[in-house]
Amino acid sequence: PEIVNGVLTPIVVEAKTTGVQKTDIVTFLKDRDYFVVIRPTFMTKEQRLTAARLSYTMLGAGYDWFFERDEFPRWDNVKAKRFYCSEVVWACYDYALSSMNFCLATFMGVKKTLGVLTVTPQNLADAANYMSSRFDVVMASDRLHYRSK
C-alpha cells in the first residue's frame, strides 16, 4: 500500500501497453471486465514480500509485445526488460522462489504457446481453480468463469 491523497491505498503493479506502471486498486478493478485475486499458499510471507518488492523495480519497463520470457533470475537491469501483464506476476514469484529450485511452472499453469513458454491470466485463474490447495482466492468478480471452493 501507498499513501494516495492522504489515504493508505492498495497498489497494483501492472503491465499495460504503455509499460509497467502502478495503479491504485480501485482504478485497476473498475477497468476490468472480470478479475480474480489469488494468494499462493505455497509461499512464505517473506517470499510474497520479496515478489512485491521486485514488482516495484519493474516500474518503467516496457511492454512485451512478443510474449518472450527472458531467462530468470537475471535482474541486473530490470528496466531494460519487457513484460506482458501476467508475466509480471510470474516473474516476481519465480524470482522470489528461485533460491528453492522450485518449479513454479507447475503451479502457475505455464504452457507453451507457439513454442514459447507463457502464462495467461486464464492460466492463473485455472491454477487457482484446479489447485485450490495451493492458492487462496482473496476475491473474484461475479462475471469470472471460476468455481470457488
Convert the pLDDT of each residue in 103-149 to its tens digit.
666 666 677 777 777 888 887 777 777 766 778 888 877 755 544 44
Which run of H or E residues covers position 94? helix 85-97
pTM for this predicted structure: 0.79
Q: Quick check: 62 pLDDT over 60?
A: yes
pLDDT in tens, 129-142: 776 677 888 887 77
What are 12's strand-pairing partners? 23
Helix (H) and strand (E) counts for the chain? 5, 10
What is the bridge-based pairing of β-strands 82-83 and 2-4? Answer: unpaired
Q: Quick check: 32 pLDDT over 60?
A: yes
pLDDT of 18 reads 95
CA 28, 139, 113, 81 torsion: positive or negative? positive
